[in-house]
Structure 1
Amino acid sequence: MEVKRLTCLLSIVLLLLLLPPPLAFSYETKAIDKLQSIDKIELSSVSGPESLAFDNFGEGPYTGVSNGKVLKWQGKDVGWAEFAFNSRHRNAECGVYNNVLFESRCGRPLGLRFHNKTGDLYVADAYFGLFKVGPNGGLMSELASGAEGVPFTFTNGLDIDQETGVVYFTDSSMHFPRSENALVVISGDATGRLMKYDPQTEKVTVLKKNLVYPNGVAISDDNTYLLVAESTPCRILKYWLQGPKTGQLEHFADLPGYPDNIKRNSRGEFWVAMGKKAQPNGLTSRSALDNPVALRLSKEGKVLEILDGDISLSEVQERDGTLWFGSVEMSYIGVYKA
């Protein structure tokens, strides 16, 4: 009897030794609402700085807001200035507003990214498609409003290959626009698309169909793959751009919340913002996190850092040791200097 008990205990010890260490000890956690020296760049009469962009001179941030325009931050002495707009803003109804009901008429910029070689800013407008505006801003030019004969319904995240100028972007659903984004989740809609726009040919190519709420995208630092967030399943996928796996899609990371935009930092790591917390999984069950709002992932998809707080983030960008926070729900951009 004692021999059997000893054998059982030894088996349990061996099993525990083989198990990976708890995730709570493998990453750093920061409470975002308790971080010191967080500054707020307040917006005036508009809200929802969903995505942020900096030009090749380091100026900005630029952000798309609730009135359908793109604004540029010019410092405390000057404040915000209008940078870009679409043709519908020539109408009186597309003035200053903060109402989701006007989005389908006036537009809603989401993903933003500069092509550093040309200085052009590319904009994914949730309702009207893919746009571009020159370094001096002004009226945006429409590049694409559909692919393969199917109009875009919910154009969302984007990133640019800085070498080739190719733009990678998502259409989150073929059925539900941004104003009905909750239905994309509730219905389990899987009609999203990952696409690319080639500025040389001016053509859009559909890379992957039947994605579940594809959202933010980010290209790796060596341009061999890109990441795409699937919001409803709370996961990140990897799409291979080069090498023997070109065109293949594979799992990259599971998340404790619904991912939004993804931004790469200077070390080749990825910041993933999360709008809402999901059901507890392996990432949260062993920690004391109340509301994880962003993760920093390694190139291999391992969690390196978690931001925890009571706000809903749509984007986190890291620049020179400073974190910039965007949110479709906030009326300001957050700035944290480590």
Structure 2
Amino acid sequence: MEAKCSPATLLLLLSSSLWMLLLLLQAPSMVSCHEEMKSIYVGQQVLPMRIGRPAFGPESLAFDHRGGGPYTGVSNGRVLRWRGARRGWAEFAHNYKHATVAECAAKKKLVVPESACGRPLGLQFHRASGDLYFADAYLGLMRVGRRGGLARAVATEAGGAPLNFVNGVDIDQETGHVYFTDSSAAYQRSDYMMIILTGDATGRLLRYDPSTGNATVLASGLAFPNGVALSADGSHVVVAETASCRLLRHWLRGPRAGSTEPFADLPGYPDNVRRDDGRGGYWVALNRDKSWAADGTTPRSVAAVRVRAEDGAAAEALRGLGNATVSEVLEREGALWLGSVDTPYVGLFRISEL
């Protein structure tokens, strides 16, 4: 039976040392969902694009206005760019701490706490300007020009409250508005398990307007809002609410503008959300599926799902990735690029069709 999306179950997924204790606390199962999903079995077909030590955890992925990349943020606070198999990864952007905090200097090559040097999570390019925006979990919403270098914070507060755990990012390419999430007002990323354990629902969905430099609150009272994706027509954004195992839809235009509603029930705990490559849906990465607590990792474990934009139904499931967690799936030109907050590589899975 499918496990319920509950605080106890998610904490179990994040902390294996509490496995037996929290399994006993697991609540009854929710309604079974998505059995009709088409399965895509990855197996050993993922090509790892390894990141140089000590950095790891390429959480999110983006391509620039010329198709270069992907770009990704890693655990030592930097944003890297992929330059091809022969040249590998190179630094594209950094924050002020890499010049002012000794242990964050590039030459140190130390493993340091994320909070010491910053932690880029979601990222996206504004194609017209070439600017890269990314969510630094500790420093705020950041921006760097098309040539890279020093990234600066463009938003550190909204609605009179500081940003505390900036997470997902997407951009309206027409207006330049940046949509992003602040996962909790009470806990930072270093204490993210406490968001679940305490039932915290202080997360927010926000919008940054580069023409005014202001960040406004679109929705509040969210339970661990994570990834965010703008709809193809720009009428709404889809937000992953990790603690509730679901997607939300926040309307930007039309008669329901300003309202937030449930959009999709998911078979696991969502991280980032990205529109698919023109097929009318969204790829939703799952940190773990709900059955992991009882069954562990199996060949049928779901690492991500593609949901349909019209009704939120899960159409396809990505399976067979073993113990590797997935934080983002980016579909591009017949391939799936896989990000993970835990691995020392970006995964590339080439497909002929889905």
Partner of 1:324: 337
1:131 to 119, 142, 146: 142
Q: Is the 8 A contact 1:86 1:140 kept in 2?
A: yes
Cα drift, residue 94 of structure 1: 0.5
- After superposing the two structures, state which structure 1 stretch, 84-93 or 159-168, moved more: 84-93
Opposite residue 60 of structure 2, the aligned amino acid is: S
Deviation per CA, 1:25-66: give whole Å up to 9, x if none.
Answer: x3211233x153x21100010100000010011100000001
Q: How does 1:177-256 map to 2 (within 5 A)?
A: 177-256=188-267
Opposite residue 272 of structure 1, the aligned amino acid is: V
Q: How does 1:89-128 map to 2 (within 5 A)?
A: 89-91=98-100, 92-95=102-105, 99=111, 101=113, 103-128=114-139
Q: State yes or no: 1:28 paired with 2:41.
A: no
Cα drift, residue 76 of structure 1: 1.6
Partner of 1:292: 302
Cα drift, residue 79 of structure 1: 1.3
* Number of equivalences: 310
User: Whole-Å Cα distance in 1 between the matches of residues 48 and 226 of structure 2?
Assistant: 26
Q: Is the 8 A contact 1:51 1:314 kept in 2?
A: yes
Q: State yes or no: 1:156 paired with 2:164.
A: no
Percent sequence identity is 49
Partner of 1:44: 52
Opposite residue 269 of structure 1, the aligned amino acid is: G
Partner of 1:16: none
Q: Is the 8 A contact 1:192 1:214 kept in 2?
A: yes
User: Whole-Å Cα distance in 2 between the matches of residues 147 and 261 of structure 1?
Assistant: 22
Give the structure-2-normalised TM-score: 0.84
Give the unaligned 5+ runs of structure 2.
1-31
Opposite residue 271 of structure 1, the aligned amino acid is: W
Deviation per CA, 1:117-163: give whole Å up to 9, x if none.
Answer: 11100010000100100000000121011112211110000100000
Partner of 1:71: 80
Partner of 2:280: 268
Opposite residue 39 of structure 1, the aligned amino acid is: L
Cα drift, residue 290 of structure 1: 4.1
What RMSD over aligned residues (CA atoms) do the two structures have, in Å? 2.0
Q: State yes or no: 1:83 paired with 2:92.
A: yes
3-state SS of the aligned residue for 2:243?
A: coil
Q: Is the 8 A contact 1:66 1:98 kept in 2?
A: no
User: Whole-Å Cα distance in 1 between the matches of residues 111 and 198 of structure 2?
Assistant: 24
Give the structure-1-normalised TM-score: 0.88
Opposite residue 246 of structure 2, the aligned amino acid is: R
Cα drift, residue 87 of structure 1: 0.6
3-state SS of the aligned residue for 1:243?
A: coil
Partner of 1:5: none
1:59 to 68, 75, 84: 68
Q: Is the 8 A contact 1:253 1:302 kept in 2?
A: yes
Q: Is the 8 A contact 2:34 2:267 kept in 1?
A: no
1:278 to 283, 290, 308: 290
3-state SS of the aligned residue for 1:208?
A: strand
Q: Is the 8 A contact 1:100 1:179 kept in 2?
A: no
Opposite residue 315 of structure 1, the aligned amino acid is: E
User: Whole-Å Cα distance in 2 between the matches of residues 232 and 301 of structure 1?
Assistant: 18
Partner of 2:21: none
User: Whole-Å Cα distance in 2 between the matches of residues 53 and 22 of structure 1?
Assistant: 30
User: Whole-Å Cα distance in 2 between the matches of residues 330 and 245 of structure 1?
Assistant: 40
Opposite residue 29 of structure 1, the aligned amino acid is: S
Deviation per CA, 1:223-271: give whole Å up to 9, x if none.
Answer: 0111001001100000111111111111110111110000002223100
Instruction: Give 4+ residue runs of structure 1 displaced > 4 Å after superposition.
Output: 96-100
Opposite residue 161 of structure 1, the aligned amino acid is: D
Partner of 1:333: 346
Partner of 1:10: none
User: Whole-Å Cα distance in 2 between the matches of residues 261 and 100 of structure 1?
Assistant: 25
3-state SS of the aligned residue for 2:271?
A: strand
